[in-house]
Amino acid sequence: MKRITLALTGASGMAYGLRLLECLLRAGCKVDLLLSQAARIVAKQELDLQLPSGNAELVAMFNARFSGHSGKLAAYGKEEWFAPPASGSNPADAMVICPCTMGSLAAIAHGLADNLIERAADVILKEKRPLILVARETPFSLIHLRNMTALAEAGATILPANPGFYHRPQNVEQVIDFIVARVLDQLVIEHQLMARWGDATDLT
C-alpha cells in the first residue's frame, strides 16, 4: 500500500485536491491528509462544502463521500507534531500539496516549518522523496518564480494547475481530471482518467 501525504492549502482550486484524494483512495493508497484553515474556507466558498474540524469526523465524511474505496485515510491537524509526516523516521512515499498557495510554496522553499504541512514537505525534501506542488496562481511574480526555481533545484516537482484542452473536455470535471491525471502520473499510480496521447481515436 503506497503511502501519500496530501496537503490542501488555501489556494483556489479545491476541486483538484478533493478529486485527487478520491483517486488516491480508490487506487488503494494510504493517505495522510493535512488541511490548512484557509483550505476549509476555500472549500466552503468554492464547493459549498463544510469540512468538520475534528480529524475523526473529517475521515468519516470522506470515507462516506468516497464509499467503496480500498485505501486508508488518516487526517492530522496543523500542529500535530507527533503525526507520522512530521518525522524523517517515518516518511511517506511521496507528498502532494494540491492546491498549493504561494505562501506555502515560499515557506517550504525557505526551509520554514511553522505548521505540519511545511514540516512534512521539509521532511520529504530532506529524505529525497517526491514532492509535488500543484501551484495555483496567475500571473506569477518574480518572487514566485524564484521560489519555484529554488524548490525545483531541491528536487521538488512544480506542477501548476494549467490544464490542457487537446483531449476536448466536455465539462469541468474533465478539466479537473487532466491535472489530477498528471499528478497521478508523477506518483506512478495507474488511472483511467483520460486517454493517453496517441491512444485516443478522436485526437487529430
Domains, the chain, with CATH or none: 3-187 (3.40.50.1950)
Tell me how far apart the alpha carbons of residues 180 and 185 are, in angstroms, rounded to a whole number. 9
* Residue 204, pLDDT score: 42
Q: Is 72 exposed, middle or buried (0-12, 13-18, 19+ CB in 10 A)?
A: middle
Tell me how far apart the alpha carbons of residues 137 and 12 are, in angstroms, rounded to a whole number. 8
For 66, the grid coordinates are: 468516497
Give, as one character, the DSSP assignment of residue 65.
Answer: H
For 55, the grid coordinates are: 480529524
Q: Please count the CA atoms within 13 angstroms of the CA of 124 that sit on its side-chain side.
A: 29
* Residue 199, pLDDT score: 77
* Residue 127, pLDDT score: 97
Tell me how far apart the alpha carbons of residues 38 and 202 are, in angstroms, rounded to a whole number. 40
pLDDT, one tens digit for every residue, the chain (204 residues): 899 999 999 999 999 999 999 999 999 999 999 999 999 999 999 999 999 999 999 999 999 999 999 999 999 999 999 999 999 999 999 999 999 999 999 999 999 999 999 999 999 999 999 999 999 999 999 999 999 999 999 999 999 999 999 989 999 999 999 999 999 999 999 999 988 888 755 544
* Residue 200, pLDDT score: 57
Sheet containing 72-76: order of strands: 72-76, 30-35, 3-8, 94-100, 131-135, 157-158
Model pTM? 0.95
